[in-house]
Amino acid sequence: MPIHQIDPTTSQAATELIGRLESANAKVLNARASQQFIDGLLKMGLAFAVFLVDVADGTSQLSAEQIQGGLASIERHCDQIESDLPIAA
């Protein structure tokens, strides 16, 4: 029971981020890096995923401001992984 309506643009943004986060997670999973590094980043990914699924489905009970802030954090997370992920040669 959402306590407020989530506008379609926001749900759409969340849906797009689901695809991006999934790719980022896959990149982490396949990275030749230490186990702690991989596990830590995936645990962050899990919290982001729960958030995104709720927002995409319009079931999130967070405020509009919290949702925008969360989406921005997840975008930064994906940016970092897409451009800077250290992978041992």
Q: What is the binding site for another protein (CB under 8 A)?
A: 3, 18, 21-22, 25-26, 28-29, 33-34, 36-37, 39-51, 53-54, 57, 59-62, 66, 69-70, 73-74, 76-77, 80-81, 84-86, 88
Q: How far is the CB of 9 from another protein (least distance, A)?
A: 20
User: How is residue 10 written in tokens?
Assistant: 């926001």
CB-based contact 52:74 (threshold 8 Å)? yes
CB-based contact 56:71 (threshold 8 Å)? no
Q: How far is the CB of 7 from another protein (least distance, A)?
A: 19
Q: Which helix (H) or strand (E) holds 86?
A: none
